[in-house]
Amino acid sequence: MFALLHLKHAFNESDEGFVECRGETPTWQFFSGQAYLELRRPCDAATLIKFRQLLGEECVEELLAQTINWLLLSS
């Protein structure tokens, strides 16, 4: 779920738009940890919204910042 939130944020997609596009984008699926291409949606937009609300905005921002830091250090 966090990989989905990261991709949504990185590409500035709406919840609905991201869920729709993600099913058609093999690279996003691979980043999300899937080994095989699946044409179905990973979840509905409401699930993504509930997950983000459960974490809280501050936690989501901190996780995104840590991911960016890790990517910068590993390159």
| DSSP secondary structure code for residue 23 in this structure | T
Among the listed residues 9, 63, 17, the one whose alpha carbon sits nearest the alpha carbon of residue 44: 17
The pLDDT tens digits of the residues spanning 21-51 come to 877 788 888 888 888 888 888 888 899 889 8
- Residue whose tokens read 């080994």: 35
Which range of residues forms the domain containing residue 30?
Answer: 2-74
pTM for the model: 0.68
Domain count of the fold of the chain: 1
The position carrying tokens 């044409």 is 39
